[in-house]
Amino acid sequence: MNKVLLAVTTYNQLEYTQIFYESFKQLDSNLCDLVIFDDCSTDDTVAWCEDNNIKVITKQKGKGLTDSWNSAYKYFNQHGYEYFIIANNDILIPKGAIEELCTTLERWPGSMVAPLTTELGCGHNKVQNIDLYYGKQSIYNDHKYYQQVQDSILNLKKKLASNEGSNSLYRLDPIRMKLFNGFFFMMSKKICQYEREDKNLFNPEYINVKNEDMFNWDNLISNDDNVFLCMTSFIFHFKGVSFTKAGISYSNNLEEHLKQRENKLNTTR
């Protein structure tokens, strides 16, 4: 068993899971264990995972994204991992990105760290926009260049580190996060202190909206050492695949959410 659990949440959109998996296969096999947490997909997601020897945990009935996050948290706790990552399936992970997140949590042992991504991919947390730190470049928004983006960041890190007396390295240190975007974030064992009384980490009342609201969230962000942005890690995020592009609106009413799914499924049959 590796020290990092990579928990990827899915609901249909198998083609994006397959694209993600191609990037995952390029990573060091000793880096992290992959587990798919599926919210009762109606396409071939589960069968495809099983055919490719990918561990998949699915449900008899859809319960929403937050339920998948809590399932991933409990799996992390039960299996003794040091760190765990929660990620959407509409991402690409370049080589070197997860190592940088690990380094951040090892050097600054906080509870949570998040990567940079594209302007579109960062959603509500604009502080994760790579343009803010490395200038606006067209390759950031083209998924074909996701590895090139990460390589260029690491090359800059090496260049700055080799310049004795350079004061530019502060740009590569983590900064405080008041919010994080749920497409990809990494947590350490310290996160367990924010576990709810019901043994969940995330509020189960939130089906698909406000997923990031955790028990004692205010306590988590009250300390500068708890939540970081890693400025040397880049994850490409296609953004909105599970909802906007799938024609499903965000809702915290489970029955309404499942009804939307069923209506969408009937119209595509």
Best-predicted range by mean pLDDT among 27-31, 104-108, 179-183?
A: 27-31
Band of residue 87 on the pLDDT scale cut at 50, 70, 90 = very high
Residue 109 predicted with pLDDT over 90? no
Domain CATH number, residue 84: 3.90.550.10
Domain residue limits at 117: 4-268
HEC sequence for the chain: CCCEEEEEEECCCHHHHHHHHHHHCCCCCCCCEEEEEECCCCCCHHHHHHHCCCEEECCCCCCCHHHHHHHHHHHHHHCCCCEEEEEECCEECCCCHHHHHHHHHHHCCCCEEEEEECCCCCCCCHHHECHHHHCCCHHHHCHHHHHHHHHHHHHHHHHHHHCCCCCHHHHHCCEECCCCCCCEEEEEHHHHHHCCCCCCCECCCCCCCCCCCECCHHHHHCCCCCEEEEEEEECEECCCCCCCCCCCCCCCCHHHHHHHHHHHHHHHC
Average pLDDT for the chain: 88
* C-alpha distance from residue 63 to each of 36, 40, 60, 249 (Å): 15, 8, 9, 15
Q: Who wins on pLDDT, 101 or 162?
A: 101
Q: Residue 245: its pLDDT value, please?
A: 73
* Per-residue pLDDT reduced to its tens digit, 163-179: 654 556 556 667 777 77
Q: 142-159: per-residue pLDDT in tens? A: 999 999 999 999 998 888
Cα–Cα dist 261/139, whole Å: 34
pLDDT in tens, 238-250: 988 877 777 777 7
Number of structural domains found in the chain: 1
- Tell me the mean pLDDT in the region 74-92: 96
**Token pair of 197, please?**
């009384």
Measured over the CA atoms of residue 232, residue 238, residue 242 and residue 245, the dihedral's sign is: positive
pLDDT of residue 266: 74
Q: pLDDT: is 266 or 193 the higher one?
A: 193
Residue 48 has pLDDT above 90, yes or no: yes
Whether the predicted pLDDT of 222 surpasses 70? no
For the ranges 76-80, 105-109, 158-162, the maximum mean pLDDT occurs at: 76-80
Side-chain-facing half-sphere of 32: CA atoms under 13 Å: 27
